[in-house]
Amino acid sequence: MKRPLATLLCVLLGNLLPLVGHCQHAAAFSQNPEVKAFITDMHDRYGFDVSHLTQQFATIRPNAVVLRAIRPPAVPEKQRSWQRYRERFVNSQRIAGGISFWRRNAATLQRAQAIYGVPPEVIVAIIGVETVYGQDMGSFGVLEALASLAFEYPPRAEFFRGELEQFLLLARESGVSPLSVKGSYAGAIGIPQFMPSSQRRFAVDFDGDDRIDLRNSTADAIGSVARFLQQHGWQYGAPVAVPARVTADPAPLLVLGIKPSLTVSELAREGVVAAAASDLPAALIDLVTPGAATEYWLGFDNFYVITRYNRSSFYAMAVFQLAEALRAARDGLGYDVR
């Protein structure tokens, strides 16, 4: 995919000036031949009005901030730090906010657990990590963000074109203008930051008002997070992760990935020591911090389920540890965030 010179200049400006958004010198998306073909396809497959959809794409341009944010760090080995990542999410402020959120929504969280089998602390932790309990849902126009990634970011263009398609369908089903919806730079929406495809597939009306509104209904957000995890295989009462000690070369086990494939006893024969109550399938998880000893854990099926929300072991561990901290604080046991 060739990118117009104006777009490349726009991205460069976005790198130099962090507050620059879409570049006025870049052509509107409606002038992009690939967008025109996309609009025609949306008409042929779903009956969208070509003129109306073209008008909407005429109001948006490639967003330099979005395109800069999606790119991997230039020096990833200096950026990847579990300790630094953890401090962002497992801290006294996030715990206090989570306890307050839990208290306000206790009945809804209990109902979600009864229906979907997901503990309240896990639901609260995901919402806490994603949007600080609904306080930071993103300020990017979702249509512009998804279009920028679908047509100006070749490495993941196919994925984001699919999400753009799902977003337009979602907006039509919800009766809202696609131009009115705000979200993250990657197009995630609402209190739980669902991508459009996840919202259409997993979100539920949990407050009984006959509509799904993840931006304004905390109940819908709670029910939808619980259903997402349940649909991805959450096991009620099963463990999530336990610390581990590695006495042999961990590399052969780490290449197996984060999906559990060996039992605890099989891992023990490979030099992984962990205090696990049962011989369940698990995966070896490494949490790397430059200049510090690597933390090793065993992640069970429920840990893997959390990574379906965000495919990062750092993310899943932050959710798990925040959930543990919230449960301890809720039970009056206290929690050391260090």
Q: What is the CATH number of the domain that holds 27?
A: 1.10.8.350
Full-model pTM? 0.90
pLDDT of residue 17 exceeding 70: no
Domain count, the chain: 1
* Residue that has been written with the tokens 């709670």 in this structure: 222
Whole-number Å distance between alpha carbons of 208 and 323:
27
Burial classification of residue 238, based on how many CB atoms lie within 10 Å of its CB (0-12 exposed, 13-18 middle, 19 or more buried): middle
9 domain residue, yes or no: yes
pLDDT of the residue at 14: 46
pLDDT of the residue at 19: 38
pLDDT of the residue at 15: 43
Whole-number Å distance between alpha carbons of 149 and 160:
6
The distance of Cα 198 from the centroid of its chain, to the nearest Å, equals 10
Whole-number Å distance between alpha carbons of 301 and 294:
22
Chain segment 53-97, per-residue pLDDT in tens: 999 999 999 999 999 999 987 665 556 899 999 999 999 999 999
pLDDT of residue 135 exceeding 60: yes
Chain segment 236-292, per-residue pLDDT in tens: 999 999 999 999 999 999 999 999 999 999 999 999 999 887 899 999 999 999 999
200 domain residue, yes or no: no
Chain segment 160-170, per-residue pLDDT in tens: 999 999 999 99
Which pairs count as long-range contacts for 42-49, CB under 8 Å and 24+ apart, including other chains?
A: 42/165, 42/168, 46/168, 46/169, 48/168, 48/172
Whole-number Å distance between alpha carbons of 167 and 146:
9
What amino acid is encoded at 206 in this protein? F
Mean pLDDT of the chain: 92
Active site residue 130: yes
- Residue pair 127/221 in contact by the 8 Å Cβ criterion: yes
pLDDT of the residue at 72: 81
- The CB density around residue 243, as the number of other CB atoms within 10 Å, is 12
The 3-state DSSP class for residue 94 equals helix
Nearest of 123, 47, 85, 38 to residue 326 by alpha carbon: 123
Domain span at 67? 5-72+138-183
177 domain residue, yes or no: yes
Query: Which member of 77, 87, 121, 130 is catalytic?
Result: 130
14 domain residue, yes or no: yes
- Residue pair 99/307 in contact by the 8 Å Cβ criterion: no
13 pLDDT band, cuts 50/70/90, is very low
